[in-house]
Amino acid sequence: MAQYNQYSGHQTLFHDFPVLEKGETYAGYAALIDGHKLTVPAPDSLSAISTKHRKVERSHWQLYTPRHKPDDTLQGHLTFALKYEGIDLAVLKALFNGIEPQEIVDFVKAEPTGAYSRRIWFLYEWLTDTQLDLDDATQGNFVPLLNDKHQYAATPHNSKRHRVRNNLPGTREFCPLIRRTEKLDQFIAMNLSQTAVDHIGKTHADLQSRAAAFLLLKDSKASYTIEGEKPAHNRIERWGRIIGEAGQRMLSVEELEYLQSIVIADNRFIRLGCRIEGGFVGDHDRTTGMPMPVHISARSEDLQSLLSGLLETYQRLTNSDYDAVLIATIIAFGFVFIHPFEDGNGRLHRYLFHHMLAEKSFAPKGLVFPVSAVILDRIDDYRLTLEHYSKHRLDLIEWRPTDKGNVEVLNDTIDLYRYFDATKQAEFLFECVEETVNKTLPEEVDYLTKYELLNSFIKIYIDMPDKLVDLLIRFLNQHQGQLSNRARSKEFSALTDNEVQAIENKYNEIFHVG
């Protein structure tokens, strides 16, 4: 039997958390992790009972009042966790793997119609894929599994055995969760999809087409730049065309492998398709060649289960009213954390943003959001967002180096990739989408509108071919509305001083330079 709250007052299992003060005790998940010595990533927030009579927040701790204190038992802390903290599948799976099933049976028999006992019963059987020695519930109203005050719930499916509505967004094989936060609620309330439609709807069809082409190329180039690559222009254009097709075909393992083959132009030294060995992100020690991972990929033997779960979750969510950006978060970040391929994972991860938003008709038809370009501008925040997941898991993965400079994972790690809190990733992606909708997109539409005005003026003023007009405007852009002496002496030497002055004046009038 586990002993809860037996820690010494100056120590804690939760390295990133401040030590509790005298008289404060663990509650909920903190007590369960401590009492059962669970090897799991610490949640972003944990609960404790303080001596004060008002609920407060201190660093990572949610401090509850003495009247909230649960019974110092498995049942007491499980009920507290579900009631006040929401569902943490990683903690619950590790807990259920380490206790006797009879403990859950006794709990349910003691409270056969209890809302929390039935939820815990469902979660035990769902997570362990084991049926307990209990008769189906016949009484009690159906209760939602996730409390949507704590976490974003999906379309529910009734479990008659437990009289529970399963509103988890995923499956047993893959089910990240996203906590409801004030920031995410505010983003969702902005209705950014409609804002994007409003922005582009004010633009002439020709300009829409030009904007779409420019943003597509911009995003493709940015995605390679994030990976530290400078491919030939034709490769950037080819990947841009693929991004432009996002959302047109259903995702599958075969589709992902096809996309990887487009990303990896030269595959002589890379095995395409799912890995058959380990994988990691990081460097090698210059002297020894020892791997220095900042992220360790899922084991190759787990990829079939994880990808199957990810794709089943994708199908479940795309056929629901779950928010499009939250779906993109779960699928795209889930994919890159699994890291199923030897190479190309990062670009496919960012492709999945486009795919999910396009499939859910988030953006105006034919327009690709340059999310990668915004990410590139916020590259440090992006790395921190990825690190927020990886750094809490590195210490939980046992590995050894291989003679190929790779890593071989020695312990069971599949649940690290199945069940994680994607809240930080969702907030980051929403920030990028909001910037795209309210800044990048309007700026591009505004530029093209002004470009068209100047283009029309030049064509009326001077008989000049489109290609040369475009070059002239680009030269003016590069020098804040002034045509350089080099351009005046070479490409545009045929222009008179008066013509140059008239064009520069018009540029400055339209673009408000100076």
- Residues at the annotated binding site for ATP? 343-350
Residues 6+ apart with CB under 8 A from 501: none
The answer to whether 246 and 355 have CB atoms below 8 angstroms apart is yes
Residues 6+ apart with CB under 8 A from 420: 41, 90, 176, 177, 337, 389
Query: How many whole angstroms separate alpha carbon 385 and alpha carbon 210?
Result: 33
Q: Residues within the annotated binding site?
A: 343-350
Helices and strands counted in the chain (H then E): 21, 11
**Nearest alpha-carbon partner for 419 in 326, 299, 338:** 338
Query: How many whole angstroms separate alpha carbon 142 and alpha carbon 165?
Result: 6
**Nearest alpha-carbon partner for 42 in 88, 8, 78, 11:** 88
Alpha helices in 65-154 (DSSP H): 74-80, 89-98, 101-110, 115-128
Secondary structure (3-state) at 276: coil
Strand 61-64 relative to strand 46-49: parallel, antiparallel, unpaired? parallel
Secondary structure letter of residue 91 according to DSSP = H
Which pairs with CB-CB distance under 8 Å and at least 24 residues apart come from 69-75? Answer: 69/25, 69/27, 70/27, 70/28, 72/4, 72/5, 72/31, 73/4, 74/2, 74/32, 74/99, 74/103, 74/107, 75/107, 75/110
Residues 6+ apart with CB under 8 A from 20: 9, 12, 26, 48, 61
Secondary structure letter of residue 157 according to DSSP = E
Amino acid at 507: Y
Secondary structure letter of residue 437 according to DSSP = I
Secondary structure letter of residue 274 according to DSSP = B
3-class secondary structure per residue, 48-77: EECCCCCCEEECCEEEECHHHCCCCCHHHH
Query: How many whole angstroms separate alpha carbon 333 and alpha carbon 319?
Result: 20
Amino acid at 406: N
Query: How many whole angstroms separate alpha carbon 107 and alpha carbon 338?
Result: 36
Find the catalytic residue in 162, 339, 354, 392. Answer: 339
Establish whether 339 is a catalytic residue: yes
How far the first Cα of the chain sits from its last, in Å, is 76
Q: In the block, which residue shows the tokens 């991860």?
A: 349
Beta bridge mates, 57: 62
Residues designated as active site: 339
